[in-house]
Amino acid sequence: MKKLLFIYLFLLFVLSATVAGENRVVVIGIDGWTASSLSKADLPTVKRMMREGASTLSVVDELPTNSPTNWSSLFMSVGPDAHGLTSEGPMKAGYVPKYPSVFTLLRDQKPQSEIGAFYEWHKIKRLFSKGALNHSQHLPRMFDVSLVLSVAPYIKQKKPTLLFFHIDATDHRGHTNGFDSPKYLKTLEKYDKKIGKIENFVKKADVFADTVFMLVTDHGGKGFHHGGDSPEERYTPLVVYGKNVKKGYVIEREVKIEDIPATIAFILGVEPPEEWIGTPIDEIFMK
């Protein structure tokens, strides 16, 4: 009997070791995403992920509340005093980020990892250190949401360990039509459907059970602008959903934007460097 129990436990161990694969993260960056849009737009995918995952509507972004500053902090887990990028000015060809990003950490510590980025804002590619990505693809023709589908073959064939997908149309709508304007909300709604598609591509690639999805942003917006210190510009949503994430969990503690890369590193099992100031939001995971 004891022997049978031993065999049973052994098989269970082998089975669980083979069923649970390596952790993967899909980060979807919605540029200029306001916290207030959640109560105004019809966003079934985002809201389902909030219901079945963990979330906050008040991540503290860095000042100035613009894209270079906050995407840098979201990748490198340091503030603008350290990374020094507070405008697009320095983001020219050959720009070298000052600190290791979550992409470079993964590349250095787990060199076999497949890392990909798809982005509507072409300049964001300057923030990915050379050699960190296996796949880097600009999506031209903003507002053409069908371009989201171009990520499908990549997910299917490469099953990335870390995928970053950047949506810029939301920020553009904010500037041309106003943040939280009907057109801005409509654009968000269109992308909400596409986020659901990306989730389905991950399911079709058979890696859904290994994957954590993160919906993030760099800043909000007020009127037709952002960059300032108003709550509308500075406090933004974060949704984490998927493998091992608690369901319907509202993050109570203050989350700063640098905690996001720290959390990605935590999920992927890579060690952050001393300079990183973020803390993993580890309370959102089931023990």
Amino acid, single-letter form, for residue 118: F
In the complex, what is the shortest distance from the CB of residue 64 to Zn ion, in angstroms, rounded to a whole number? 11
Segments in 145-251 forming alpha helices (H): 152-158, 169-177, 182-204, 231-234
> Is residue 120 part of the contact set for Zn ion (CB under 5 A)?
no
Stretch (H or E) spanning 259: helix 259-268
* Of residues 169 and 205, the one with the C-beta less far from Zn ion: 169
DSSP assignment of 81-130 equals HHH---SSTT-STT---SS--HHHHHHHHSTT--EEEEESSGGGGGGSPT
Look up tokens 């992920």; give the residue: 49
Task: Restricting to residues 1-40, name those near Zn ion by CB under 5 A.
Answer: none
Cα separation, 183 vs 128, whole angstroms: 31
Q: How far is the CB of 150 from Zn ion (least distance, A)?
A: 23
Q: Tell the smallest beta-carbon distance from residue 155 to Zn ion (Å).
A: 28
**Minimal distance in Å, beta carbon 227 to Zn ion?**
8
- Residue number, 31 or 210, with CB nearest to Zn ion: 31
Q: Which stretch binds Zn ion (CB under 5 A): 54-62, 167-175, 230-238, 279-287?
A: 167-175
For tokens 């510009």, the residue is: 233
**What's the min distance (Å) between Cβ of 23 and Zn ion?**
32
Please give the size of the binding site for Zn ion, defined by CB under 5 A: 1
Q: Which two tokens stand for residue 134?
A: 């296996």
Residues of this chain, 209-248, that bind Zn ion according to CB under 5 A: none
Helix, strand or coil for residue 269? coil
Return the range that interacts with Zn ion (CB under 5 A); candidates 144-152, 164-172, 244-252, 268-276: 164-172
Cβ at position 88, least distance to Zn ion in Å = 10
| Whole-number Cα distances in Å, 249 to 53, 105, 192, 203, 213 | 6, 28, 21, 23, 15
Complex with Zn ion: residue 176 or 200, whichever CB lies closer: 176
What is the smallest separation between the CB atom of 183 and Zn ion, expressed in angstroms? Answer: 15
Q: Interacting stretch for Zn ion, rule CB under 5 A, among 53-61, 72-80, 171-179, 186-194?
A: 171-179
Nearer to Zn ion, 114 or 120 (CB): 120
Helices 169-177, 182-204: inter-axial angle, 10-degree rounding: 170
The pair of three-digit structure tokens given for residue 194, joined into one six-digit string: 């596409």
Q: Which is nearer to Zn ion, 28 or 207 (CB)?
A: 28
| Comparison of 28 and 267: residue with beta carbon closer to Zn ion | 28
Binding region for Zn ion (CB under 5 A) out of 48-56, 131-139, 142-150, 169-177: 169-177
Pick the binder of Zn ion from 120, 171, 218, 233 (CB under 5 A). Answer: 171
Q: Which CB, 75 or 276, lies closer to Zn ion?
A: 75
Which residue lies nearest Zn ion, judged by its C-beta? 171
* Omega before 64 within 30 of 0, i.e. cis: yes
- Residue 71 C-beta: closest distance to Zn ion, Å: 11
- Minimum CB distance to Zn ion smaller for 110 or for 125: 125
Cα–Cα dist 115/129, whole Å: 12
Describe the strand order of the beta sheet including 211-216 as a list of residue ranges. 135-138, 115-119, 162-167, 24-30, 211-216, 235-242, 54-60, 249-250
Chain residues that interact with Zn ion, rule: CB under 5 A: 171
